[in-house]
Chain A
Amino acid sequence: MAFNHTTASIPGPDDITRLELDNGLVILARRNPNSPSVTMRGFLHVGGLFDQDEKLGLSDFVAASLMRGTHQRDFQRLHDDLESVGAGMGFSGATHTTGFSARSLAEDAELLLAILAECLRSPSFPPDQIERLRAQILTGLSLRAQNTGEMAALTFDQLVYPNHPYSRPEEGHPETIQAIKNSDLKAFHQRHYGPRSMVIAVVGSLEPPRAVDMVRRVFEDWENPEQPSLPDLPNWEPLAETVSQRLDIPGKSQSDLVVGTAGPARREPDFIPASVGNNILGQFGLMGRIGEVVREQAGLAYYAYSSISGGLGPGPWSVRAGVNPDNEEKAVELIHRELERFSDELVHPDELSDTQSNFIGRLPLSLESNAGVAGALLNLERYQLGLDYYRRYPGMIKAVTREDVLQAARQYLRPDRMAVAVAGPARTQAVP
């Protein structure tokens, strides 16, 4: 009775369907016989990298406009059709890509896909809806200005990536959102949206051949021959020294801080050792070494952890913590000491083997839901990892050595070349 095919839950070439349509759209599908629902997730290579500085946020704004009405359904009709059957759908813009996520009961999969295709192919950008959306985005930006965590991260990006697109928040600024016209939205959509860069993963109760047919029906006649590729990322210049900045947000109780720099892109060969190292530094157990020192021993913070983004470019590798404003310097000092140790010494053999078994052991749990499997399939395509990646993964993790981890730490995390960004209530003391 017990489940005894451990590998059967791990997607591989024998149970992932992958197919590319003539127009370039890539379809991935996998069946989950235990689920009464279906999830569709995907992305297009359309992102904030296309935005001009004076209209920063345009790509994001377009993504948010897609469900505001299409040439087939107005806003209320579109959402009524989805919500009446308990279905959900959303689009979100990022720097390199625009993503989508949708789900419904199995019986409503055709409807879900029809609406998804309408939103992507024929949004109507109704002026009243766009102005409503603009007010919502602007309110979001006022709330961002009051959010110590978000403002610390934004300040951090400006410190780490001067003269690089990663210094820019893809959601824009109030003045750039005000500068975007309805005609800009339409032109951006017309120029950049197309099947050539699109990937969709369908996971759930549908048989893959049926899923492929359904996707084909609504997307195979989509063409946009003029669709440009994303601009190349400029090279990132490593920091020459440690740089710090503190932002006052009056009236708050707690400060948030981010310490770090740029890490490897996902496809760099040292991403895996860096990611294993990051787990030891600020994830494993209760937030790794950082959590142990900053939270457990010093009692300075409710949260203190490190993360490595590893996207399509050199995204941040950083430590974050929320602390009392009086403890900012102390926390930064403790984090600095851990970064020194991390780039000076080999990790302990037990730390490495613990993290290796953690990475391998948690794989089935991350693939439990339809959305989890869909996300995993998309990563295969986004980073060109190969359909057998998750089957090869345990071997790749086991092969990482302590020296590999130290090498990656030294390559990226140099304690004398860090960005330190803090946002919190105004203080009288000196900047950390």
Chain B
Amino acid sequence: MSSDITKLQLDNGLTVLLKEIHTAPLISHWLWYRVGSRDEVPGLTGTSHWVEHMQFKGTPQFPAGDLDKAISRDGGIWNAMTYIDWTTYFETMPAPKIDLALRLEADRMHNSVFDPQEVASERTVIISERQGNENSPLFRLDEEIQAAAFRVHPYHHEVIGDMADLETIQRDDLYSHYRRFYNPANAVLTLAGDFDSADMLARIRDLFGAVPAADTPARLSRPEPPQKGQRRIVLEGPGETTFVKACYHAPRAVDADFLPFSVLESLLTGPSSLNLFGGGISNKTSRLYRALVEAELAVSVGGSLQATIDPFLFSVTATVHPERDAEDIISVLDAEIERALQEPPTNGELARAVKQARALFAYGSESITNQAFWLGFVEMFADYEWFLNYLDRLAAVTPEDVQRVAQTYLVPQNRVLGIYLPTGSQEDHS
């Protein structure tokens, strides 16, 4: 992980990070905004994601439909993502063509049209996106769990938003959200790839320097009060498969407990990769795989710990064996958690977690798109140092740290337990 980056701020407040990588004739360009579903109040849930969709609907300079054609024509890929904490847009292009991405993003930071007709046709597209999600039992279970885990904090709702709001949000709601959060001081621009930093910076100053400055918008702050007692959700739906999802309130990414927690995650459910591109590794020797899958109580188990601004959730998801039920899973899960509370891990287990993380970073580094992703992603909740020091800090975690973190977070009072109970499949397989 090279520290060879350029980081600075333009006069209008835009933060810029550049990393030269001359291994392939490619450049990846990412523009990050500090806005996500956590910035939405009831009645307007799903606004950040819908605004992201509207950013593909054109500006006077780049009318709708021209943008995607222009990028594709040059052999690039592009996409956008809305998360609970942030929204990001990226283009990865052949190096000589990157100017298009720069011009496009500088333009749509300020000049998107939000045509009412486009808003109307996008409403049904987003409703369709939500209905596609609803087809999945685990989406529906997640939605119930988040709502139960966050009574006050806006992590309460899913990024896609509630159906009631998707039916009623108006064009001006979207446009004012855009105007408020899309400005240079609220954005981070990151590029990695085959360029000269001085030349690139000059071009960035030309294009992005011209975007008018505005105040940094305040973000919605509604801290979640500590949970006092286990919460349990039971959801019913079609199918023949039971799912159990146990979620614990977890530390935020910059908390000193986050790295020990990631070691704990690695022990319990296998290491998860924070790479967006690059993939992970299997978890068949993790404690919960052995206790649940090898014991034929579940057919699969996985965990998730995400790097977030505010405390979010560590989750364990089990797909229950067809001949078992949710309670079988929960009692064994509890026994394994108890073990983590009672015994610190061995030094060997810690060394293994560090080696796994090193491999995952190596896989992620093959992709220039992933390298530019990291430059901006960490800025959303920390800064680039967090990424650079990650392996060193991971190596410094002690067995006692891991045990203390288990004792702090993995207690029933801090847990939301979600169960998906299948009502059977009634379809006719004729």
Query: Is B165 part of the binding interface, using a Cβ–Cβ cutoff of 8 Å?
Result: no
**Would A285 and B26 count as touching, CB distance under 8 A?**
no
Q: A139-B299, A368-B26 are in contact. Are A354 and B238 (CB under 8 A)?
A: no
Selected contact of B194 from candidates A2, A146, A285, A365, CB within 8 Å: A2
C-alpha spacing A403/B75, complex, angstroms: 24
CB distance from B379 to the nearest CB of A (A): 23
**Would A143 and B239 count as touching, CB distance under 8 A?**
yes
**Would A364 and B24 count as touching, CB distance under 8 A?**
yes
**Would A302 and B281 count as touching, CB distance under 8 A?**
no
Selected contact of B75 from candidates A80, A82, A357, CB within 8 Å: A357
**Would A104 and B22 count as touching, CB distance under 8 A?**
no
CB distance from B381 to the nearest CB of A (A): 24
Query: Is B366 part of the binding interface, using a Cβ–Cβ cutoff of 8 Å?
Result: yes
Query: Contact flags (1/0) for A86-101 with B, using CB distance below 8 Å?
Result: 1110100000000000
C-alpha spacing A41/B299, complex, angstroms: 27
Residue from B69, B122, B423, B428 whose CB has the most chain A CB atoms within 10 Å: B69
Contacts of B129 in A (CB 8 A): 302
CB distance from B85 to the nearest CB of A (A): 23
C-alpha spacing A90/B283, complex, angstroms: 13
- Find the A residue at minimum CB distance from B199: A2
Query: Is B346 part of the binding interface, using a Cβ–Cβ cutoff of 8 Å?
Result: no
Query: Contact flags (1/0) for B180-192 with A, using CB distance below 8 Å?
Result: 0000000000000
**Would B362 and A105 count as touching, CB distance under 8 A?**
yes
Main secondary structure of the interface of B (DSSP, over half): mixed
**Would B240 and A36 count as touching, CB distance under 8 A?**
no
**Would B77 and A9 count as touching, CB distance under 8 A?**
no
Q: How many positions in chain B have a CB within 8 Å of any CB in the partner chain?
A: 85
CB distance from A275 to the nearest CB of B (A): 15
Task: Name which of A11-19, A43-51, A130-138, A211-219 contacts chain B.
Answer: A130-138
Contacts of B32 in A (CB 8 A): none
Contacts of A84 in B (CB 8 A): 285, 352, 355-356
Q: A36-B365, A368-B366 are in contact. Are A146 and B239 (CB under 8 A)?
A: yes
Selected contact of B125 from candidates A2, A3, A37, A302, CB within 8 Å: A302
Contacts of B3 in A (CB 8 A): none
- Find the A residue at minimum CB distance from B128: A302
Q: A1-B196, A83-B281, A135-B322 are in contact. Are A369 and B120 (CB under 8 A)?
A: no
Query: Is A178 part of the binding interface, using a Cβ–Cβ cutoff of 8 Å?
Result: no
Contacts of B94 in A (CB 8 A): 361, 364-365
Contacts of B365 in A (CB 8 A): 35-36
Contacts of A322 in B (CB 8 A): 128, 131-132
Beta-carbon contacts under 8 Å, B215-248 to A: 237-241
Task: Name which of A181-189, A290-298, A385-393 contacts chain B.
Answer: A290-298
Closest 5 CB pairs of A and B: A361-B75, A86-B359, A251-B238, A299-B121, A285-B68
Query: What would be 20 A-B contacts, judged by CB atoms less than 8 Å apart?
Result: A34-B23, A35-B362, A36-B365, A84-B285, A87-B281, A138-B322, A139-B322, A145-B425, A253-B134, A254-B128, A292-B65, A296-B64, A300-B124, A302-B132, A324-B124, A324-B127, A354-B72, A361-B75, A361-B76, A371-B366
| Apart from A146-B425, A250-B426, 17 more pairs, CB < 8 Å | A35-B366, A83-B270, A88-B280, A105-B358, A135-B322, A135-B323, A145-B425, A250-B425, A292-B65, A297-B121, A299-B122, A299-B124, A322-B128, A357-B73, A358-B73, A361-B75, A368-B369
